[in-house]
């Protein structure tokens, strides 16, 4: 509980926000989900929690739309804008192009996007948009440290969803954390090519476990449900992502790389409805408590491994260590 409160306070201080007073009505806030949709118990569900925080804390009127295909992004964003929503969120970097088009068509509506941002030049014509990025590589580095100090066979795995820069940051940070502790550990890497297929996640993770891995970290949305199921079936470790995924297998989820998408939506909305808001991007890492380890109650790592991960977190927070965010840089740490 104390950790949760500190995260909320830290990000609240980062945004330097005050809750506006609405003279006539409460804000109307809508979310457009990527094709992964609600129920992934990870990224999208974390965004939904942020929406529910707005409903509880601000009394906001809320709604959401689930996209069935990428072609739905633009019409879904536009439909909420037409329906009079004050703030419209796009959840996921795949919506960046669609949001750019719609935001310029509806300059009087405020828009937010998770996992994407725009250039200063683009923001000149998109003064109504907030981009929220995260330093996933920093939180993933901590999971790599836990993994290196947990594996008994020096074989571990990383399961990604689609190979985009956001997911590359997860991979790079994880590799860097593992190889900083032990550069001789073998890391299996595979991508499912999707974020909404638990069966693919299970198949990829099962293959890694058959090859000898005893810890697998995923950054694959709903595919991760299958990754955790595979770990549970063979009695190995999985590491969750974005949300605390311990409940999916309390005895076989080592930890989860918490990414505060919920607070990104919550505090980002409060920024957007400020009268003087001007379009820009915010980036949240360990220093802002935007990423980090799961709460103590959901941590199955040893006390020694946890203490070492927290030592590294402190170094990163103080700027004493910069985590690589590209796989090419992380790969240089591997012992050939």
- Domains belonging to the chain, first-starting first, are 2-134+260-284 (3.40.50.2300), 136-242+301-331 (3.40.50.2300)
What's the pLDDT at 11? 53
- Determine the Cα–Cα distance for residues 214 and 252; give it in Å rounded to an integer: 11
What's the pLDDT at 12? 53
What's the pLDDT at 18? 40
What's the pLDDT at 100? 97
Cα–Cα distance list, 35 to 5, 23, 91, 242, 292 (Å): 31, 36, 10, 17, 26
The answer to whether 49 and 91 are in contact (CB under 8 A) is no
| This prediction's pTM | 0.90
Q: Which residue is it, tokens 């796989």?
A: 327
Query: What is the DSSP secondary structure assignment for residue 145, as one 8-state letter?
Result: H
| Distant-in-sequence, close-in-space partners of 73: CB < 8 Å, separation ≥ 6 | 32, 34, 67, 90, 94, 95, 98, 99
What's the pLDDT at 14? 52
Selection from 56, 9, 5 nearest residue 29 by Cα: 56
61 pairs with which residues across the strands? 28
Q: 10-residue block means of pLDDT along the chain (336 residues)?
A: 45 47 71 89 94 96 95 98 97 96 97 97 97 98 98 98 96 98 98 96 98 98 97 98 97 98 96 96 96 97 98 98 97 87
- Determine the Cα–Cα distance for residues 40 and 156; give it in Å rounded to an integer: 24
What's the pLDDT at 230? 98
Query: What is the DSSP secondary structure assignment for residue 49, as one 8-state letter?
Result: H
- Determine the Cα–Cα distance for residues 26 and 31; give it in Å rounded to an integer: 16
b/e per residue, 233-272, with b = 16+ CB within 10 A?
A: eeebbbbbbbbbbbebbeebbbbbbbbbbbbbbbbbbbbb
| Distant-in-sequence, close-in-space partners of 23: CB < 8 Å, separation ≥ 6 | none
pLDDT in tens, 258-280: 999 999 999 999 999 999 999 99
Selection from 121, 126, 124 nearest residue 111 by Cα: 126
C-beta neighbour count of 184 within 10 angstroms: 10
Cα–Cα distance list, 4 to 10, 11, 41, 186, 220 (Å): 10, 11, 18, 34, 24
What would the two tokens of residue 208 be?
Answer: 């890694």
- Determine the Cα–Cα distance for residues 331 and 270; give it in Å rounded to an integer: 40
What's the pLDDT at 37? 83
What's the pLDDT at 16? 44
What's the pLDDT at 20? 43
């Amino acid at each position: 509980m104390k950790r949760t409160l500190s995260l909320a306070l830290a990000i609240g201080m980062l945004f330097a926000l005050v809750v506006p007073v609405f003279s006539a009505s409460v804000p109307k806030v809508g979310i457009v989900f990527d094709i992964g949709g609600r129920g992934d118990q990870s990224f999208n569900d974390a965004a939904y929690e942020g929406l529910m925080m707005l409903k509880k804390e601000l009394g906001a009127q809320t709604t959401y739309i689930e996209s069935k295909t990428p072609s739905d992004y633009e019409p879904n964003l536009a439909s909420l804008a037409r329906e009079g929503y004050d703030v419209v969120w796009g959840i996921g970097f795949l919506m960046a192009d669609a949001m750019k088009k719609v935001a310029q068509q509806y300059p009087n509506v405020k828009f937010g996007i998770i996992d994407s941002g725009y250039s200063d030049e683009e923001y000149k014509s998109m003064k109504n948009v907030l981009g929220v990025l995260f330093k996933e590589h920093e939180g993933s580095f901590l999971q790599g440290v836990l993994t290196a100090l947990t594996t008994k066979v020096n074989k571990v795995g990383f399961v990604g969803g689609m190979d985009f820069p956001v997911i590359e940051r997860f991979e790079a940070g994880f590799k860097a954390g593992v190889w900083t502790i032990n550069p001789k550990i073998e890391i299996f890497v595979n991508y499912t090519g999707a974020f909404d297929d638990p069966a693919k996640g299970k198949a990829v993770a099962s293959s890694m476990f058959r090859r000898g891995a005893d810890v697998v970290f995923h950054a694959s949305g709903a595919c991760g449900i299958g990754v955790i199921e595979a770990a549970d079936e063979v009695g190995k470790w999985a590491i969750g992502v974005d949300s605390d995924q311990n409940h999916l297998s309390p005895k076989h989820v080592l930890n989860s790389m918490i990414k505060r998408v919920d607070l990104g939506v919550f505090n980002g909305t409060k920024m957007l409805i400020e009268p003087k808001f001007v379009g820009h991007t915010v980036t949240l890492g360990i220093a802002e408590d935007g990423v980090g380890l799961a709460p103590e109650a959901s941590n199955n790592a040893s006390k020694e491994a946890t203490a070492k991960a927290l030592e590294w977190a402190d170094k990163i927070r103080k700027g004493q260590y910069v985590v690589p965010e590209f796989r090419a840089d992380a790969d240089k740490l591997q012992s050939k």
